[in-house]
Amino acid sequence: MSINKSYAVLGLGRYGMAVAQELVNSGAEVLAVDIDQLTVNNAALSIPVCKCADVTEPEVIKQLGISNIDVVIVAMGGNLESAVLAVTLCKEAGVPTVIAKCGSEMHRKILYRIGADEVIIPEKESGVRLARNLVSAGFAEMIDISDAVSMVELNVRKEWLGKSLMELSLRRKYGINVVAVRKGEEVITSLDPAMPLDNDMTLIVIAETAKLQKLK
């Protein structure tokens, strides 16, 4: 997904706030919604667009303009009924991608069944990591090594095709270190800096997370 998409986060508990805050920090357009006014007031201190609303109501979904959002994150895992209703209404509104938070494998199955495109169990994936993956256009996968350093699988860009790592000087230009190349099922760790890149490759790189912004 991409920083150029629009996002809505429904539910501003700890997980929802982490997602919304990271998306905002990455420069994405974010609508944050919660049913509790005090929670919304606190969130508004750091998130520009916050609304107090009950997203289990069809008319509210319409008023919020959810049908115009590219990606909705339903972070209401503590209340399965509300999460089910929100996911259903968002899909009925035509949202292309709805990601839901849940608390158990059973709830995950239910949310997939009613139309969620992806379901996250917070104990297995942090809100910050989800947000970074959402806005990391061109990254096949992102893994946090520490708070400041990440490892990503980076798709070979069109302008890089046919050029070698030596020619591209990715470390000098972007501050990233290519540690391996994946080609199909093969992972090549003994890199030939003169090897030309092609469409079948992804680059496995390590870099400071902030520097990855230069690749977007």
Q: What is the 3-state secondary structure (H, E, C) of the chain?
A: CCCCCEEEEECCCHHHHHHHHHHHHCCCEEEEEECCHHHHHHHCCCCCCEEECCCCCHHHHHHCCHHHCCEEEECCCCCHHHHHHHHHHHHHCCCCEEEEECCCHHHHHHHHHCCCCEEECCCCCCHHHHHHHHHCCCEEEEEECCCCEEEEEEECCHHHCCCEHHHHCHHHHHCEEEEEEEECCEEECCCCCCCECCCCEEEEEEEEHHHHHHHC
Higher pLDDT, 26 or 8: 8
Q: What is the pLDDT of residue 181?
A: 87
pTM, two decimals, is: 0.62
Q: What is the pLDDT of residue 32?
A: 97
Q: CA 66, CA 60: separation in Å to the nearest integer?
A: 9
Q: What is the pLDDT of residue 54?
A: 96
- pLDDT > 70: what percent of the chain? 85
User: Residue holding tokens 């919660």?
Assistant: 34
Please, what CATH class does the domain formed by 6-134 belong to? alpha beta
Q: What is the pLDDT of residue 6?
A: 92
Architecture category of domain 138-215 in CATH: 2-Layer Sandwich (3.30)
Q: Which two tokens stand for residue 70?
A: 């590219």
Q: Which two tokens stand for residue 107?
A: 């709830």
Q: What is the pLDDT of residue 124?
A: 47
Sequence spans of domains, the chain: 6-134, 138-215
Contact 142, 172 (CB under 8 A): no
Tens digit of each residue's pLDDT (9 = 90 or more) over 139-179: 555 565 566 777 777 888 888 899 999 999 888 888 888 88
Q: What is the pLDDT of residue 213?
A: 63
Q: Would you say residue 1 has pLDDT above 60?
A: no
Q: What is the pLDDT of residue 51?
A: 96
Q: Would you say residue 209 has pLDDT above 80?
A: no
Mean pLDDT of the chain: 84
Q: Which two tokens stand for residue 90?
A: 């968002």
Tens digit of each residue's pLDDT (9 = 90 or more) over 29-77: 999 999 999 999 999 999 999 999 999 999 999 999 999 999 999 998 7
